[in-house]
């Protein structure tokens, strides 16, 4: 593909390799009204003992499996999962406020406002709030998975046997590493 741009009065041609767009998924002749808005001041969809609040911005059902987007608010010293990986989805983190410890596969690093961490399928990662202040993040899973089932199920882990807990994590595509 060749592109052109003007610099002063001269026209420069630049070769740009652009990956192809995905094939069309919407094939009707006319567009449709299908957008929806979720207000930022809506209460959380799930509150885990006041330590972590989950806002299900766009779950698997809402995006037809394309992705899942969640806003997660973690209280001061609210913890989080240790090193783990997913086999079927990527995960991305964007820090909205506070400081969040992020494990990038080799070390824990502090993530600050506007920091972003991308984790492809199979990538070891973790996150936790160790700070004395709350933290808020966006988490994106692609493709979408029923993560709200996972988030809400964490509260029942203490009631499971070790074997049931291991199976529950595998069923929810969470594979912890030591």
Model confidence pLDDT, tens digit, residues 126-150? 999 999 999 999 999 999 999 999 9
Give residue 88's pLDDT: 97
Average pLDDT for runs of 10 along the chain of length 178: 52 81 94 94 95 96 94 96 97 97 96 97 97 98 94 92 96 94
CA distances to 86, 138, 146 from 122, rounded to whole Å, are 5, 20, 18
Give residue 15's pLDDT: 82
Predicted confidence (pLDDT) per residue in 143-177, tens digit:
999 999 999 999 999 999 999 999 999 999 999 99
Q: Which CATH class is domain 46-176?
A: mainly beta
Give residue 10's pLDDT: 62
Show contacts of 92-96: CB within 8 Å, 24+ apart.
92/116, 92/117, 92/118, 92/119, 92/139, 92/140, 92/142, 93/117, 93/119, 93/127, 93/137, 93/138, 93/139, 94/137, 94/138, 94/140, 95/135, 95/136, 95/137, 96/71, 96/136, 96/137, 96/138
Q: Are 37 and 21 in contact (CB under 8 A)?
A: no
Cα angle 49, 51, 57; round to 5: 95
Give residue 1's pLDDT: 43
Give residue 152's pLDDT: 93
């Amino acid at each position: 593909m060749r592109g052109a741009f003007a610099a002063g009065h001269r026209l420069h041609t630049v070769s740009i390799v652009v990956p192809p767009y995905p094939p069309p998924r919407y094939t009707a002749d006319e567009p449709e009204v299908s957008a929806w808005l979720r207000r930022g001041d809506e209460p959380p969809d799930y509150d885990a003992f006041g330590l972590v609040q989950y806002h299900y911005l766009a779950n698997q059902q809402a995006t037809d499996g394309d992705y899942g987007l969640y806003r997660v608010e973690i209280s001061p010293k609210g913890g989080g999962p240790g090193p783990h990986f997913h086999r079927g989805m990527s995960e991305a983190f964007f820090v909205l406020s506070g400081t969040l410890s992020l494990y990038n596969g080799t070390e824990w690093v502090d993530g600050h406002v506007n920091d972003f961490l991308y984790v492809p399928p199979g990538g070891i990662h973790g996150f936790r709030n160790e700070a004395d202040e709350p933290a808020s993040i966006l988490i994106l899973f692609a493709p979408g998975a029923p993560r709200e089932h996972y988030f809400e199920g964490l509260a029942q882990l203490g009631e499971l046997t070790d074997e049931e807990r291991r199976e529950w994590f595998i069923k929810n595509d969470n594979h912890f590493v030591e």
